[in-house]
Amino acid sequence: MIARLIRWSVANRLLVLLATVMLTAWGVWGVRSTPVDALPDLSDVQVIIRTSYPGQAPQIVENQVTYPLSTTMLSVPGAKTVRGFSFFGDSFVYILFEDGTDLYWARSRVLEYMNQVQGRLPATAKSSLGPDATGVGWIFQYALVDRTGKNDLAQLRALQDWFLKFELKSLPNVAEVASVGGMVKQYQVVLDPIKLASQGLTQGQVREAIMNANQETGGSVLELSGAEYMVRASGYLKTLDDFRAIPLVSRAGVPVRLGDVATVQIGPEMRRGIAELDGEGEVAGGVVVLRSGKNAQETIQAVKAKLSELQSSLPQGVEIVTTYDRSALIERAIQNLTTKLVEEFIVVAVVCVLFLWHLRSALVAIISLPLGIMAAFLVMRYQGINANIMSLGGIAIAVGAMVDAAVVMIENAHKKLEAWQHKHPDRQLVGEERWKVITEAAEEVGPALFFSLLIITLSFVPVFTLEAQEGRLFGPLAFTKTYAMAAAAALSVTLIPVLMGYWIRGRIPDEQKNPIT
């Protein structure tokens, strides 16, 4: 079968060359569009449920929130581990799924079971799913700094929460922008218990009065003199005086207002941590989280471009300082491995030239390297494998063996051409007769070489049996090495015989006269 494939390739050599050009163009696209990262993602498929239960102690959070959620999530299809963590005012439940589970399918199942348990949770407990990211999704972090002192921490946090956060979340592949540091501004009502008791009021009545006062609604329209006027009740609270004027109860026609029984002030939300930059003081900032399986390098560049664009929209004196940027690590890692690949490519090319002692023949072997690598990148692109240290390492391992078949086939062609020339010293080997000799040379060793490359290709099959983090770490290396070797095997019985016919011309050096061999 392999011999027939070689004959078909030589007979349809223009079609083979056209397919090679198409593979090259397609491969260039694959190389450019393959996601890039420093290391493969070793995280399990996980979904996080965060439940806010303000003001409650960890033991209460554990009993009333974490335990009901954890026990319910144990029955989610595909879930292998459920972990619950209870903190002051917060509960986190991590659901880990079997390898190969689709993340968005898992999220939909968790959401379905979360709705079932919602009725068993306290009324003030609010649950939500974490971002569709992984444990290595933290790709970029920045801080808002005002060294002029014109903007306080509350203003910086407001810029982050109501401006930068939404702008960055609009970017493709950004799963979440988490705010850190600063102070969240609050309208705080500090009740005076003595005054409250003297008026016969309770804390619940005050809370209800504030909620009822902070409303805005419409009342249809009025038609007067052929014109329509929309009726609107404006009731949003905007200033401290608006809060102080809220009526709580009426005593003999005299209203008791909120300001009579409480102190109303603007202050920060309770904090249990701070964000500090280089020991120079507190700052506000944000953490950009990458969506699962997306291109980290491309997303970081988009985030930095967006922040540069938004810098001019910030108040005077406020600047954005980058505190963590994974793209630097990615660039160094990929650049280092790319340099080693180029060096290895050059060494292989030099060895081919020295041992074949014929430049055009060496080019036949060398050209299979970039084509095989581009074919591997194409499969990586569609399989969702990132270009990282491990996946590129698999290609580096395969480079030396990828040219073996081509070199042996070229040497055999040299011998066949030399033998024909000895038999016909007065004739020139041209035309179809030349293609016949090349085809015979390729058929003689092609099948054996093809299967020898396949054996090398299958040498990493045991790696595919690794599971969990080991499989996720070494899997990309095994995949790319296998794809590159498989591409080299296919090229050795299709493109290589065609290129030999076109490029192995002129004076073929005698093998015995080669000083290397």
pLDDT tens string, the chain, 517 residues long: the values are 788 888 888 888 889 889 989 999 998 998 888 888 888 888 889 999 999 998 899 999 999 999 999 999 999 999 999 999 999 999 999 999 998 889 999 999 999 999 999 889 998 999 999 998 888 889 999 999 988 888 888 999 999 999 999 999 999 999 999 999 988 988 999 999 998 888 888 888 899 989 888 888 777 888 887 788 888 877 788 889 988 989 988 776 788 898 989 999 988 888 888 888 888 888 999 999 999 888 888 899 999 999 999 999 999 889 999 999 998 888 888 888 778 778 877 887 787 777 766 677 778 778 888 888 889 889 988 888 888 888 888 888 888 778 877 777 877 777 777 776 667 666 666 667 777 877 887 888 878 888 888 888 888 888 888 877 888 888 888 888 889 888 888 888 888 888 887 777 766 666 666 666 5
Alpha-carbon span 418 to 295, nearest angstrom:
52
For residue 304, the model assigns a pLDDT of: 94
Alpha-carbon span 476 to 488, nearest angstrom:
18
What fold does the segment set 188-266 form as a domain? 3.30.2090
Place of tokens 């030239």: 353
3-class state of residue 105 by DSSP:
helix
Who's near 422: CB < 8 A, 6+ residues apart?
none
Classify residue 343 by burial, with Cβ atoms within 10 Å: 0-12, 13-18, 19+.
exposed
Rounded to two decimals, the pTM is 0.79
Alpha-carbon span 377 to 387, nearest angstrom:
8
Which of these, 339, 342, 341, 361, lies nearest to 352 by C-alpha position? Answer: 361
Determine the straight-line distance between the first and last CA of the chain, rounded to whole angstroms. Answer: 33
For residue 516, the model assigns a pLDDT of: 60
Assess contact for 320 and 142: CB atoms under 8 A.
yes
Name beta bridge partners: 75: none
Which of these, 344, 292, 316, 321, lies nearest to 45 by C-alpha position? Answer: 292
Alpha-carbon span 37 to 298, nearest angstrom:
10
Alpha-carbon span 73 to 234, nearest angstrom:
44
Which H, E and C letters describe 377-391, residue by residue?
HHHHHHHCCCECHHH
Could you give the count of Cα atoms lying within 13 Å of 471 in the half-sphere of its Cβ? 10
* DSSP symbols for 362-412: HHHHHTHHHHHHHHHHHHHHHHT--BSHHHHHHHHHHHHHHTHHHHHHHHH
Task: Enumerate the domain spans of the chain.
Answer: 2-33+357-513, 44-131, 188-266
Architecture of domain 44-131: 2-Layer Sandwich (3.30)
Residue 356, token pair as written in the block: 């074949």
List the strands of the sheet with 174-181, edge to edge. Answer: 174-181, 284-290, 138-146, 318-325
For residue 362, the model assigns a pLDDT of: 76
For residue 426, the model assigns a pLDDT of: 67
CA angle 272, 273, 278 (to 5 degrees): 170
- CATH class for the region spanning 2-33+357-513: mainly alpha
Q: How are beta strands 262-268 and 174-181 bridged, if at all?
A: unpaired
Exposed e or buried b for every residue in 472-491, given b needs 16+ CB within 10 A?
A: bebbbbbbbbbbbbbbbbbb
Alpha-carbon span 249 to 270, nearest angstrom:
30
Assess contact for 117 and 72: CB atoms under 8 A.
yes
Which of these, 480, 446, 335, lies nearest to 2 by C-alpha position? Answer: 446
Alpha-carbon span 486 to 477, nearest angstrom:
14
Which of these, 125, 138, 161, 141, lies nearest to 50 by C-alpha position? Answer: 125
Alpha-carbon span 259 to 241, nearest angstrom:
8
Residue 496, token pair as written in the block: 């290589």
Alpha-carbon span 419 to 413, nearest angstrom:
10
Residue 343, token pair as written in the block: 């060096």
Backbone angles phi, psi at 23, to 5 degrees: -60, -40
